[in-house]
Amino acid sequence: MSEPRINGLRSVELGVHDLQKSAEFYRNVWALEDVSGEGDTLHLRGTSRDHHVLTLRERPRAGLLGVHFSAPDRAAIDGLHGKAKAMGMKLSGPAGELEKSAGGGYGFRVSTPEGHPIVISADVADHGSAIDDKTRPTKLTHVVLNSADIENQTKFFLDVLGFKWADSTMMMDFVRCCSDHHSIALARGKGPSLNHMAYEMPDIDGLMRGAGRVRKSGYEIMWGVGRHGPGSNVFSYFVEPNGFVTEYTTEVEQVDDSYVAHDADWWKAQNVFPCRWQMAGAPSEFARKAMGGDLVEEENLRCEQVMARALGR
């Protein structure tokens, strides 16, 4: 039997200061849609059939509570759990049935060696149909994690979860688990924290319309619009009301096992930084701080303070 492995990115789970204010942003500005929730929790979907792409839970401190991945079936879940256990990884307990309001299914929680919270599941319910609206995000397409020890975090994704190496730059390692060039990247930083999460827009026109909606709602583009080097995706980054960085992206390179990954020296020679189009300049000091996780991890600002900083920088 082949090694059990992750086969997709499902959703991100965030602790937020104020559930209602955060939900308003993700519904009305970011254009996700409520699916289910109770008490301090809300799950929101994109336009694809995925059950949800974002979970918000009201907490005294904002923070990353989980990056959720899919595995093909229950046997793969058991296989991955056994492998993580054998390799001495920190597990929350045995694999089991998951929260009904989150679509149910079967899975477990595990931490990366540095402490990033990971959830792996199979058999989660999905929606009967997709929503036809090109101006709204379809799915969560990648998550970038800050790490003070990216070599060990990358090794965890490759050796324990079965990811494949996609590329490296001086700042980041990119790893893949499906046809998207990367579903996870590990960024050199203070870690463990969330650098940013990226939601896929159907095409460039959809991305620009979505970014226009966000700007019209009073949120400035923090970095972009531009086109990245590795992954070749078009990017536009914003700061949301808790200080997390969130991205609309599109046209991420589709790859298979014939893809040839390159190291930092190769990428440095390509002249694709900070943007292939040479449209977007280098990220500002504020953008680097936000992506470093400082607004959430160190300053733990309230929504109004984050927005004042983002607009007044």
Min dist CB 9 to Fe ion, Å, is 12
Min dist CB 249 to Fe ion, Å, is 6
State which residue, 112 or 183, has the beta carbon closest to Fe ion: 183
Min dist CB 198 to Fe ion, Å, is 4
Cα first-last separation, the chain: 55
State which residue, 198 or 201, has the beta carbon closest to Fe ion: 198
Q: How far is CA 152 from CA 115, 119, 147, 242, 290, in A?
A: 11, 18, 9, 29, 24
State which residue, 68 or 181, has the beta carbon closest to Fe ion: 181
State which residue, 121 or 236, has the beta carbon closest to Fe ion: 236
State which residue, 14 or 198, has the beta carbon closest to Fe ion: 198
**Span of 85-93, 149-157, 197-205, 214-222 interacting with Fe ion by CB under 5 A:** 197-205
Check residue 16 for interaction with Fe ion (CB under 5 A): no
- Report residue 110 as tokens: 């595990």
- Residues touching Fe ion, count (CB under 5 A): 2
**Span of 52-60, 102-110, 176-184, 193-201 interacting with Fe ion by CB under 5 A:** 193-201
State which residue, 98 or 198, has the beta carbon closest to Fe ion: 198
Does the CA dihedral 13-90-87-193 come out positive or negative? positive
Phi/psi at 115 (5° precision): 110, 10
Min dist CB 143 to Fe ion, Å, is 9
x/- site string to Fe ion, residues 232 to 271, per CB under 5 A? ---------------x------------------------
Check residue 222 for interaction with Fe ion (CB under 5 A): no
Number of alpha helices (DSSP H) and beta strands (DSSP E) in the chain: 8, 16
Min dist CB 46 to Fe ion, Å, is 16
CB 246 within 8 A of CB 196: yes
Check residue 198 for interaction with Fe ion (CB under 5 A): yes
Min dist CB 196 to Fe ion, Å, is 6
State which residue, 118 or 198, has the beta carbon closest to Fe ion: 198
The Cβ-side half-sphere exposure at 271, using a 13 Å CA radius, reads 2
Closest residue to bound Fe ion by CB: 198
Phi/psi at 234 (5° precision): -80, 135
Radius of gyration in angstroms for the set of CA atoms belonging to the chain, rounded to a whole number: 18
Q: How far is CA 167 from CA 98, 100, 262, 289, in A?
A: 33, 37, 5, 24
Dump strand ranges (E) for the chain.
8-16, 33-38, 41-45, 54-58, 63-70, 96-97, 106-111, 117-122, 139-147, 164-168, 172-176, 184-188, 193-200, 223-227, 234-239, 245-250
State which residue, 120 or 245, has the beta carbon closest to Fe ion: 245
**Span of 12-20, 194-202, 261-269, 293-301 interacting with Fe ion by CB under 5 A:** 194-202
- Report residue 189 as tokens: 């930083």
State which residue, 180 or 247, has the beta carbon closest to Fe ion: 247
CB 70 within 8 A of CB 91: no
Q: How far is CA 227 from CA 196, 231, 275, 278, in A?
A: 16, 9, 5, 8
Check residue 80 for interaction with Fe ion (CB under 5 A): no
Interface residue list for Fe ion (CB under 5 A) = 198, 247
